């Protein structure tokens, strides 16, 4: 397969980030290598495009160039913009054209929308948020692109949800399952029946997916709590749910 390279640009009302690259090259490998350049530190509130060569949730690179020995692949892309910066226009530009039989598509993970003609249309992000706006760029043969887009969409929860903890009642450990349809800031806090905060299990930004957290019966100070009834409060986006948990020793 021949080498190819695409440039990704992002423009908002006040800021821009034009120098982000994905592609394939004879000198590159499928994993992280010297050709994958780190993103400069982001100035708070400014616009930035980040790539994740290892798909590990860290969008710290401005380039993600891979081996020509592979044809198909998925590139993880995130746009970070200031909350007051307005809509963002993301465009794909050909620096070195991919082979004619290669399809360049994109899945908008926030809206669950696939774009098979992303090179012509780009994508407009209207949502204003300090939470990262995640996308997947799917590139390869037509069958691979179709199947991979469907696999991505099938793997995305359709709504926020919080399951009931199990076991319940419990002694020592209990597990809470939850689902995120889009990238969100997640907060899971535990309270006693007096309304006092006992523990914080989660307080961070997380990508979409089905997840779980385990409570080991310890409070914020690392001490074992007393037997009794506790409330788990789950917040993500505008979603709020609570679950009653019973600790019995």
Confidence of residue 133 (pLDDT cuts 50, 70, 90): confident
Instruction: Note whether 107 and 152 are within 8 A (CB).
Output: yes
Q: What does pLDDT average to over the chain?
A: 90
pLDDT reported for residue 39: 78
Confidence of residue 18 (pLDDT cuts 50, 70, 90): very high
List Cβ<8 Å contacts ≥24 apart for 157-163: 157/181, 157/208, 157/209, 157/210, 160/184, 160/236, 160/237, 160/239, 160/241, 161/241, 162/232, 162/234, 162/241, 162/243, 163/243
pTM: 0.81
Nearest to 90 by CA among 116, 108, 72, 74: 108
Average pLDDT of the residues in 44-69: 83
Torsion of CA 151, 153, 154, 156, to 10 degrees: 120
Q: Identify the CATH number of the domain defined by range 161-247.
A: 2.60.40.4070
Strands 16-25 and 63-67: parallel
Whether pLDDT at 201 is above 90: yes
pLDDT reported for residue 47: 87
pLDDT reported for residue 228: 95
Whether pLDDT at 193 is above 70: yes
Confidence of residue 223 (pLDDT cuts 50, 70, 90): very high
CATH 2.60.40.4070: which residues of the chain?
161-247
């Amino acid at each position: 397969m021949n080498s190819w390279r695409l440039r990704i640009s992002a423009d908002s009302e006040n800021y821009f980030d034009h120098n982000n690259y994905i592609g394939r090259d004879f000198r590159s490998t499928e994993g992280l290598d010297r050709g994958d350049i780190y993103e400069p530190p982001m100035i708070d509130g400014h616009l930035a495009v980040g790539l994740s060569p290892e798909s590990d949730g860290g969008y710290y690179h401005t380039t993600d160039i891979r081996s020509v020995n592979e044809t198909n692949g998925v590139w993880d892309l995130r746009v970070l913009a200031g909350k007051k910066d307005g809509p963002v226009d993301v465009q794909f530009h050909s620096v070195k054209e991919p082979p004619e039989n290669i399809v360049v598509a994109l899945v908008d993970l926030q809206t669950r929308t696939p774009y098979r003609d992303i090179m012509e249309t780009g994508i407009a992000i209207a949502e204003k948020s300090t939470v990262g706006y995640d996308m997947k760029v799917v590139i390869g043969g037509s069958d691979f692109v179709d199947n991979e887009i469907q696999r991505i969409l099938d793997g995305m929860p359709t709504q926020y949800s919080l399951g009931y903890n199990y076991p319940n009642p419990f002694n020592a450990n209990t597990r809470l399952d939850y689902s995120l349809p889009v990238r969100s800031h997640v907060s899971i806090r535990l309270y006693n029946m007096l309304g006092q905060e006992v523990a914080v299990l989660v307080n961070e930004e997380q990508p979409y997916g089905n997840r779980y957290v385990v409570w080991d019966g310890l409070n914020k100070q690392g001490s074992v709590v007393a037997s009794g009834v506790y409330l788990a409060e789950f917040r993500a986006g505008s979603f709020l749910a609570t679950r009653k948990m019973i600790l019995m020793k």
